[in-house]
Amino acid sequence: AAGVIQSPRHLIKEKRETATLKCYPIPRHDTVYWYQQGPGQDPQFLISFYEKMQSDKGSIPDRFSAQQFSDYHSELNMSSLELGDSALYFCASSFARGQVEAFFGQGTRLTVV
Amino acid sequence: SQKIEQNSEALNIQEGKTATLTCNYTNYSPAYLQWYRQDPGRGPVFLLLIRENEKEKRKERLKVTFDTTLKQSLFHITASQPADSATYLCALLTGGGNKLTFGTGTQLKVEL
């Protein structure tokens, strides 16, 4: 069965650079979530989309933005990167009108040097 | 403020015993609560969902209870195995219904 695909798996950027993370949700899922997870921490909710419209926002810095495209894939754009942005970034998708459990991708490990 | 709290200390148990993990929440009125398993460096994996009108849910060796009066869910793994060692997270759908918020997680280690 198709799973949530994230790319790239690993990314190394320098401070003040920009990064773009991509997420391809499971087909027919209508909700996409983005999370940031630092070492030893629980996943922190950043932002979600329902049917391509921004739905809820969490502790997402102003330097970050996200969008969902007509083909339902989503991108998280991160600018003016800081050392503290180094983390695992997960994307998840779900079907809001169904069982609502979220299916997570394998994550993108971002390292800012 | 809204919080979802789990046992902060790691839980070490012997193989074959029952592991019990706790999830407490404040200032939420969730329609349902979910439990996930996360292995190091990997994304959380959905295990079970329990609705507010359900007291208990089972799936193989897993059992979840949900007490909306106490604002608490208990997650049990019976006949635990070393392969059950992982971090277990409870989660609630909050906000406008599209904000899946995780608890602080409990690290479980099952020893031989």
Interacting residues of B104 by C-beta distance below 8 A, sequence separation 6+ = A42, B4, B5, B6, B8
Mean pLDDT in each 10-residue stretch from start to end of chain A (113 residues)?
Answer: 92 98 95 94 94 91 96 97 98 82 96 98
Q: What is the pLDDT of residue B8?
A: 77
- Token reading at B48: 């079970």
- For chain B, give the percent of residues with pLDDT over 70: 97
Nearest to A102 by CA among A92, A112, A111, A110: A92
- Nearest Cα residue to A10 out of A88, A78, A110, A103: A110
Helix, strand, coil content of chain A in percent (nearest 5)? 5, 50, 45
The residue ranking higher by pLDDT, B51 or B83, is B83
Residue A84 has φ and ψ, to the nearest 5°, of -70, -10
Q: What pLDDT, on the 0 to 100 scale, is given for residue A1? A: 67
Mark A27-36 as b/e (b = at least 16 C-beta within 10 Å).
Answer: eebbbbbbbb
> Closest Cα to residue A46, out of A71, A63, A27, A30?
A63
What pLDDT is recorded for position A99? 64
Per-residue pLDDT at A96: 77
In this prediction, residue B95 carries a pLDDT of: 67
Q: A45 vs B102: CB contact, 8 Å cut-off?
A: yes
- For residues B49 and B69, the answer to whether their CB atoms sit within 8 Å is no
> What string of DSSP letters covers B12-35?
EEETTSPEEEEEEEES---SEEEE
B98–A31 CB contact, under 8 Å: yes
Please say if the pLDDT value at position B97 is more than 80.
Answer: no
8 Å CB contact of B43 and A106: yes
Q: Tell me which of B9, B64, B100, B107 to substitute to probe the interface with A (most A C-beta atoms closer than 10 Å).
A: B100
* Residues B28 and B41: beta-carbon distance below 8 Å: no
Mean pLDDT of chain B: 93
**pLDDT for the residue A82:** 98
pLDDT for B111 = 96
CA-nearest residue to B4 within chain A is A42
Q: Is the pLDDT of residue B15 over 80?
A: yes
Say whether A54 sits in a helix, a strand or coil. strand
pLDDT confidence of residue B63: 98
* Interval B64-84 mean pLDDT: 96
Q: How confident is the model at residue B1 (pLDDT cuts 50, 70, 90)?
A: confident
Q: Which is more confident, B6 or B94?
A: B6
